[in-house]
Copies of this chain bind each other. A is one copy, B any other.
Amino acid sequence: MRVQGEAYRTIWPRADGAAATIIDQTKLPHAFVTTDLGTCADAEHAIRAMLVRGAPLIGATAAFGVWLAMRRDASDTALDEAHRLLLAARPTAVNLRWALADMAATLGPLAPSARADAALARAVALADEDAAINAAIGDHGLAVFRERWRAKGERGPLNVLTHCNAGWLATVDWGTALAPIYKAFDAGMPVHVWVDETRPRNQGAALTAWELLNHGVPHHVVVDNAGGHLMRRGQVDLCITGTDRTTAKGDVCNKIGTYLKAVAAADTGVPFYVALPSPTIDWTLDDGDDIPIEERAAEEVTRVTGRTDGGALATVALTPAGSPAANPAFDVTPARLVTGLVTERGVCPASTEGLAALFADRAA
């Protein structure tokens, strides 16, 4: 998508073929900095230190990391070592494991002399596949947006509320929940986005706002408390979020606070959609309440980092010293509150039957 008028992805091979280039997302939204990854160790660091984030982008970065390793030493030992190093960077990331397994299966059978070129080709292909999946989610979501737009008589902006960042920065391109928004904007629909701040890590205020600002999409940042009020007053035409994990019956595990917006949407008659690439569906799990919820550090709640008027980053405490905080990172939105799941194959009801109809080849 666009940054300062230029088209970007989140990762790409440098034109001279000597590095992969990424956007250093730890600098966002206050500075736009790209960084070259020249070695596998650079890629490992980018993943571990969260210069890149979002499951699909982590997977793509690992694939490019294997390529960078093969450029230096394409032996079996070096291939194994790159795999081991990169996998340990974010041990719980499913896409990371999957991308590394793909690279190992592609490169293992080849002669070492053929591995570097094959690794680059495969890493580029994996990145292209992710962009294509998200573009397809965007197209299917666009059809939903068009229907809502017609239903409101094509008058005024189409007001879309989103939570957290399920945008192109979390993927290779397009994003998931934001893909239909970009498709709609690029198609000339007057879309306007309510961007939930998304405490405690502020991915909405920082990343979603930055994406929309740079692509030129009209938006307002709002605190997480505001969405219910906006829905009650008719200022939201639909909600769309991403998901970290979706169960076989359509329960959605996503960033903390998603459930509150879904239950308010149901109470006010606002459609609530969830966008997802099908690999994030957990076909082995039915009930979302069986998903353990990660409890993260209290400091994410009690402290916040931002830019001072002087331009430096500073971290400030928001709570009195001595007050403890709790920090559940995700919540579960029951399928009954989800109007539809927007996947790369189309839109389906959030139900066992809905998902099975779209994914008959994959469902258990």
A-to-B contact residues, CB < 8 Å? 28-30, 194-195, 197-200, 202, 205-206, 209-210, 212-213, 219-230, 232-233, 255-257, 259-261, 263-264, 267, 289, 293, 301-309, 313-320, 322-328, 330-332
Shortest CB-to-CB span from A108 to chain B, Å, is: 43
Shortest CB-to-CB span from A191 to chain B, Å, is: 15
**Across the interface, do B305 and A232 meet the contact criterion of CB distance under 8 Å?**
no
Q: Which of B197, B313, B317 contacts A306 (CB 8 A)?
A: B317
| Cross-chain pairs A/B with CB under 8 angstroms, 23 sampled | A28-B320, A194-B326, A195-B323, A199-B224, A200-B223, A209-B323, A210-B323, A213-B323, A220-B325, A220-B326, A221-B302, A221-B319, A222-B326, A223-B301, A226-B256, A229-B328, A229-B331, A304-B304, A304-B318, A305-B316, A306-B317, A307-B316, A309-B317
Decide if the interface of chain A is mainly helix, strand, loop or mixed.
mixed
Instruction: Give Cα A256 to B307, complex, Å.
Output: 26
Q: Tell me the number of copies of this protein.
A: 2
Instruction: Give Cα A197 to B228, complex, Å.
Output: 17
Q: Which residues of B contact A316 (CB under 8 A)?
A: 304-308, 313-314, 316
Instruction: Give Cα A46 to B222, complex, Å.
Output: 30
Shortest CB-to-CB span from A294 to chain B, Å, is: 12
Nearest B residue to A307, CB-CB: B317
Q: Which residues of B contact A194 (CB under 8 A)?
A: 326
**Across the interface, do A199 and B225 meet the contact criterion of CB distance under 8 Å?**
yes
